Structure 1
Amino acid sequence: MSNTSAREATLHILDQIDKNQSYSNLLVNHAIKKFNIKGPDVGLLTELTYGTIQRKLTLDFYLKPFIKKKVEGWVRNLLRLSLYQMKYLDRVPERAAIHEAVEIAKKRGHKGIAGLVNGILRSIQRQGVPSLDEIADPVERLSVETSHPLWLVKRWSEQFGIEKTRAMCESNLLAPVQTARVNTLLTTREEVMEELKDAGIEAELSTLIPEGIHIKRGNIAHTDSYKKGYLSIQDESSMLVAYALNPQPGESVLDMCAAPGGKTTHIAQKMTNKGTIVALDLHPHKIKLIQENADRLKITSIEGHALDGRKAHEKFELQSFDRVLVDAPCSGLGVLRRKPDIKYAKKEQDLASLTSIQLALLDSAVDLLKPGGTLVYSTCTVDYEENNLTVSRLLEKNTALKQISIDSLPEAIQPLVKDKQLQVFPQDFGGDGFFIACFKKE
């Protein structure tokens, strides 16, 4: 199929995100199948989709002086998509991007719309886009320049200062590195590297995580190594959670918000598949996902239950677990590189309602933890309120808990631990933004 279909499919995805608040990563996979996108067009579709979403606010700033009247949502998305190619993709000639846009406009709209699209894009080609230097306020300029909502850039600037915020926002615009975890229950990292090389996958060893690898090129989900259970796709920041929990063979562990099971299976790996891991999630289909994951990895120590972690004390005996992990529902502001649509969907008030859920889960976890047991709280966000403040509130409420330093992390990560807790930023080593804190029950 021609590039036209890749661009049309991208437009279809952008419209779906606007209309249904669907996740881009799910829509991309669906569109590839639905529109039968093949070969290099798969890469083009992926890049156009993520790139246009990533830079939406910047593109809107550039388009604003050229759009004189109200346009339909799909027309605006078509203009964003075309301008993204003109501005950010060297390998797409401007005239090709404009020509394709006009053809799509004719097909989806009428001659008038095609003329409008052609006129706007040709004016931009002639005059160039407005300069970001026109924005006097540095916080607002950073918001537009890196396409992060103003409330978020303000919030982060107050929490971390503008320089750290800039580094984070710029980092969020980069394509994520695909990383995987080797299943040391079945194989070694060296063996997997050999297999992947034979399968035409370009990979290198992680310098941070002993069982981690970086995928440079190719899709490991289609390899024999993956099907045999030698590998799990998991971000390096997320791999640090099992290290922090430091579970021992034979223990009983509760993973309160476990789906899709990446951390759960890593915990099982650390326990050499000996002992019991109780994995909870609200939804039965997600428990099924954890089980499928465990089966593929030949792990037998996990038992899944569809249950709200806040009600876990109704099913399990109090003070019965050696270790409890609360990888809590959060704003996801650490994974904007992978899910760029999150940054536009979230509102500041969403964060406050999340902290009450996080605390309720932690309170339940404390009740289920044995005296002397370890509790780990983790999130894939960088927000001070969801992380540090939640920890302070937890300690105020539960006097039997003591925060302890996280000393079981891989050596290369240890310098990032401050005040007994780990806050990873996307710019630290290219992983997701992530937070981890550890507690002991007296």
Structure 2
Amino acid sequence: MNKITNPRQLAVSTLTRTKQGAYSNLQVDTDLKQAELSSADRRLYTSIVYGVLQHQMTFEYQLAPFLKNPAQVDEWVVQLLYTAMYQMEYLDRIPKRAIFDETIKVAKKMGHDGIRRMVTGVLHAMDRKKLADPNQIEDLVERLAVTSSVPQWIVELLIDQLGKDKATSILMSLNQPPKQSVRANLAVISRDELLNELNEAGYDAKASEVASEGIVIEHSEIPITQSDFFIDGKLTVQDESAMLPAEAMPIEASDLILDACAAPGGKTTQIATRLSAAEKGQVVALDIHKNKMKPINQNAKRLHVSEQVVAQALDARNVGDVFEDGLFDEILVDAPCSGLGLIRRKPEIRYQKTPADIEKLSQIQLAILTAVAPKLKVGGQLTYSTCTIVNQENKNVIDQFVINHPEFEVQYTHTDLDLKADRNQSDLRIYPDDYLSDGFYVCTLIKQ
């Protein structure tokens, strides 16, 4: 099988598979390994894939007038046209003639002469008539949905819960490039020492303003995951917001802690750095999928905290079958969720989730909290977190849990950098536009 050497053709293939349900980050990694692209072509390919995913609904709106029978057009042809539109609107350095020539070449390579002629005709029609400006849409919800490329039900939900101004700010921030952030592994190095070493090695690194262990890398010639810093376990890749749940936990070196939904182990290993093997401190890391044990253990080994981590395949809803009541000093439930706070990093999430998914997930979240609650010692802290930004999976779940378990009391969620110190609620709600990190929710519950 010949390896693909054309970045635009590869982008069309990746986008088509993502449209069919693949996770973009995993599909990109897989397709890059199976292709032969130069460094410049890899960057172009990645830019096109994520650019199209970010603006898919905008392109769908703009392309519609140029397709007579959209339902009869193969999905890969639609994705090919989107790649051309992205290059025309967002990649200023590529001449229009080159975009047209390369797009038509891919149409010919992947299809037949009829598709080539159709693609050629659509491209020239778009060039003559120009693309519609979605900012001219009168209806607010439709305009926000099309301009931000976020389904209307999510737009309506955000407006209803947060108001028009905050919802608009969030939506307009989602298509900005995600920051690259890493967590200093405090088991082996301080953040300040790591910052100095990174900058001396040529990385443009600065301290995070969100997380005390976080570092934001603005620019790097060598991908951080290929660096000695990563391989030797001095750091791990983690979003700034994702570091906050562990920050909010008052961990003692000798604690026995349950991480109820642990894979791939980012928060597990962060907790483990605050424990002491000498004092028998341990974090029991659960995940429902047996194959997720390997990445948890690999991360723990790379970050030199294997002695503090015990990985176990178990559905957190079944902890009652395995652990005795009152066993754990602290429990973290970083619950499975819709991931709507991750749209900037995983843009296809917005198209794949439905209101029914959120309803189902909220029931799972409540079931996990209910199952782990008896396993916490009296006086211990239960920390609940998600990477989503809607009440159905956050505040509403906690409200119902506390009604069912009056022995738990919601208390103020603290972070090392005292984020949102002037907020009116005890829980911590990080939105994607606040710090341009992932959207996150963290709530602190004490067992009385």
1:53 maps to 53
Structure 1 residue 194: Cα displacement: 3.7
2:296 maps to 290
Give the alignment partner of residue 389 of structure 2, picking from 368, 382, 394.
Answer: 382
**What amino acid is aligned across from residue 115 of structure 1 in structure 2?**
R
Structure 1 residue 198: Cα displacement: 4.6
2:407 maps to 400
> Residue 379 and residue 291 in structure 1: after superposition, are their counterparts in 2 closer, same or farther (change >3 A)?
same
1:333 maps to 340
Structure 1 residue 164: Cα displacement: 1.0
CA contact (8 A) 2:427 2:443 kept: yes
Query: Normalised by the size of structure 1, how large is the TM-score?
Result: 0.96
**What amino acid is aligned across from residue 421 of structure 2 in structure 1?**
P
Alpha-carbon distance in 2 for matches of 1:379, 1:136: 34
Give the alignment partner of residue 216 of structure 1, picking from 200, 208, 218.
Answer: 218
Q: Secondary structure at the match of 2:244?
A: helix
2:430 maps to 424
2:327 maps to 320
Which whole-Å deviations, capped at 9, do the CAs of 1:4-34 have from their partners, x for residues lacking one?
7111110010111123x00010111111111
Q: Secondary structure at the match of 2:344?
A: coil
Q: Secondary structure at the match of 2:311?
A: strand
Structure 1 residue 83: Cα displacement: 0.7
2:254 maps to 250
Give the alignment partner of residue 154 of structure 1, picking from 156, 159, 163.
Answer: 156
**What amino acid is aligned across from residue 435 of structure 2 in structure 1?**
F
Identity value in percent: 38
Number of equivalent positions: 440
Structure 1 residue 189: Cα displacement: 2.3
Give the alignment partner of residue 163 of structure 1, picking from 157, 162, 165.
Answer: 165
> Residue 373 and residue 390 in structure 1: after superposition, are their counterparts in 2 closer, same or farther (change >3 A)?
same
Query: Normalised by the size of structure 2, how large is the TM-score?
Result: 0.95
- Give yes or no for the alignment of 1:232 onto 2:236: yes
Map 1:11-410 to 2 at 5 A: 11-19=12-20, 21-69=21-69, 70-218=72-220, 219-273=223-277, 274=279, 275-299=281-305, 300-407=307-414, 409-410=415-416
User: Unaligned regions of 5+ residues in structure 1, if any?
Assistant: none
Structure 1 residue 417: Cα displacement: 4.5
Q: Structure 1 residues 130-139 or 108-117, which shifts more? A: 130-139
Alpha-carbon distance in 1 for matches of 2:175, 2:100: 24
Alpha-carbon distance in 2 for matches of 1:344, 1:181: 30
> Residue 246 and residue 417 in structure 1: after superposition, are their counterparts in 2 closer, same or farther (change >3 A)?
farther
**What amino acid is aligned across from residue 195 of structure 1 in structure 2?**
E
**What amino acid is aligned across from residue 37 of structure 2 in structure 1?**
I
**What amino acid is aligned across from residue 229 of structure 2 in structure 1?**
S
Alpha-carbon distance in 2 for matches of 1:37, 1:270: 42
Q: Secondary structure at the match of 2:261?
A: coil
Alpha-carbon distance in 2 for matches of 1:233, 1:131: 38
Structure 1 residue 347: Cα displacement: 0.9
What RMSD, in angstroms, separates the aligned Cα atoms of the two structures? 1.7
> Residue 133 and residue 204 in structure 1: after superposition, are their counterparts in 2 closer, same or farther (change >3 A)?
closer
Alpha-carbon distance in 2 for matches of 1:405, 1:225: 35
Q: Secondary structure at the match of 1:213?
A: strand
